[in-house]
Amino acid sequence: MIKAVLFDLDGTFADTAPDLAAALNQVLQEEGKAPLAFDIIRPVVSHGGIALIRLGFHFSDQEVNEQQFEFERLKLRFLDIYLNNISNLTTVFDGIETLLAKLEANHIAWGIVTNKPGWLTDPLMEQMGYTQRAATIISGDTTREQKPHPGPLFYACEQINCLPSECVYVGDAERDIIAGNAAGMTTLTALFGYIEANDTPENWGADAMIKHPEDIENFL
């Protein structure tokens, strides 16, 4: 019997890409560079700010090491812009609100387990109006480990007071499925999320792949 449904945040629960893309393009314009098309930015969003700065400014691994100060400067500017505009364009994915209402009506807990740091996760969830409704919100700095380690998922179970085998974890990245499987949860890959063209979600080992949040209800 499923007692809880846990979601990754970016690309699974909330469509955060528009605000992240806007922040990246503002930094690019401030640095005298051309903005990137949204379709180029969107698939990279799940990998966080470091990946977005690398995408926008074409940093290689060697250049990140050689130009660490410059890289950090650009990253901090990007994060500052994003924090101050964190919910301008962000919404939950179509179907999420209907799903949450049905979970709550059936006394099934739901929560967030993300690698996004708490200083970004908390204001985003608060501004979207979900902080009080979520049974747990686990950020990337809540526990010692981050996904793909199962530690954050185990901690979420402790807070909800349920077994991992009684949980479903939904994510749009391979690390989400690895973490969920390692924790002993049922795992669902959100194909509507931020999946890159060269990703192979069919090989990630999830129990099922879903094309829309309403498919979660059907799976349950």
> Which residues form the catalytic set?
8
DSSP string, 85-130: TTTSS-EEPTTHHHHHHHHHHTT-EEEEE-SS-HHHHHHHHHHHT-
Helices 17-30, 68-83: crossing angle, 10 deg rounding: 130
Indicate the DSSP class of residue 3. -
Question: What's the chain's length in residues?
Answer: 220
Instruction: Give 141-146's long-range contacts (Cβ < 8 A, gap of 24+).
Output: 141/117, 142/118, 146/115
Pairing of strands 109-113, 4-7: parallel
Count other C-beta atoms under 10 Å from residue 187's C-beta. 24
Percentages of the chain per state (helix, strand, coil), in multiples of 5:
50, 15, 35
Question: What gap in Å lies between CA 141 and CA 119, rounded to an integer?
Answer: 9
